[in-house]
A and B are shown apart, each in its own frame.
Chain A
Amino acid sequence: MVSLDENMLVKKIQEGDQLAWRDLVLRYEGRLTNYAQGKIKDHASCQDLVQESFLGFLAKINNFDASRSVQSYLFGILSNKITDLLRSYGRLRTVETPVDSSGNQKSSPFIDPAMGASTWYRGDEKKKLENDALIKCLGLLINQFVQRKDYLKLKSIELIFVNGLSNLEAANILGIDNKTVASHRHYANNFIIDNLKRMNLSPDIFPHLSEQDQD
């Protein structure tokens, strides 16, 4: 959720206000440093990464989307920087693109050949629209659960969507039966689909909504 206060701070920084910049750094420095320290033990490196994240934020301040949360944006920049640093240490979790003996990148043997030009097109053309719509739908859904104090549903779909667990795994964690979790998932998917339709967007833009309902 974006606070008015936060928007005002960003606006002042966009106008070149040094005190607002200082305020933003003081406000977010601690939580960002703690986040980095959860992954990198060297305190000096953490501080450097946090400062680089602030610089990354400042470099794009004039294009900052006011509907986004500053905290989420800063955590995103920092998370990418941490990944880059870990990659340089050889602690990359993801699969590297293979290189030949001369060090040139080879095309990945893992790329799905079925991923065609339409995927590229969709990614370039509609990404922001889809993102914004889904953020709004999910926000409404979460808010509804919180207002109704329906935390069991929120927990179910958080385990499914955020942690990527199956219905059964989520059910085991929550100590409820599989069918109840499936009904929570079904409810969430329908809620999102209905709201996408209200925004005149096709639910087909998120094909996994129907896929996820099946397992």
Chain B
Amino acid sequence: MNITKATLDAFIDDHLNEQETIKVEKAVRESPELQAQLSNIIVSRDMGDHSIGAIWRREHLSCPSREELSSFKDDALESQRIDYIKFHLETVGCKACKANLSDLNSSKDSLTNPDTREKRRQFLENSKILLPKKQ
């Protein structure tokens, strides 16, 4: 795997798939040059620099909508779109979309789990004092 600045950017944003992440982690551990490059990227980001990849990842620009993921789950999209979403999930390895899909597949369970409901109730109760005051 050829590790470029863009690869390291994707690595920092945790946007590589598992195999790529392992490869980059190993390479960075073994190479002082890559460590230096990684450190420079972090510093320049702290200073406000940004890249196309970082913006694309952060804003989830090519992610299908929640509604579209739901249709994908039900196999209710045209074949080209299904193929693209599979690519986005599996090859690009989009973790946000995987989380969305996983939530869509398990949403009934998570809503009815008593512990989750109680924790949510307490959270909503405690957090409402932080809401802006009504005009």
Binding site for B on A (CB under 8 A): 1, 13-18, 21-22, 25-26, 29-35, 38-39, 47, 51, 54-55, 58-59, 61-62, 68-69, 71-72, 75-76, 79, 93-95, 108-112, 115, 119-120, 122-124, 127, 130-131, 134-135, 138-139, 142, 149, 151, 154-155, 158-166, 168-169, 173, 192, 206, 208-209, 212, 215
Shortest beta-carbon distance from A202 to chain B in Å: 15
B71: Cβ under 8 A from any A Cβ: no
Cβ B61 vs Cβ A135 within 8 A: yes
Mind listing 25 A-B residue pairs with CB under 8 Å? A16-B131, A18-B124, A32-B99, A38-B95, A62-B132, A69-B59, A72-B60, A93-B14, A94-B12, A94-B38, A108-B43, A110-B38, A111-B39, A112-B43, A130-B50, A138-B52, A149-B80, A151-B84, A151-B87, A162-B15, A162-B57, A164-B4, A164-B53, A165-B7, A208-B51
| CA–CA, A75 and B2, complex, Å | 29
Shortest beta-carbon distance from B40 to chain A in Å: 5
Binding site for A on B (CB under 8 A): 1-2, 4-17, 20, 25, 28, 35-40, 42-44, 47-53, 55-62, 65-66, 80, 83-84, 87-88, 91-93, 95-96, 98-100, 102-103, 106-107, 110-111, 116, 119-120, 123-124, 127-128, 130-135
Shortest beta-carbon distance from B130 to chain A in Å: 5
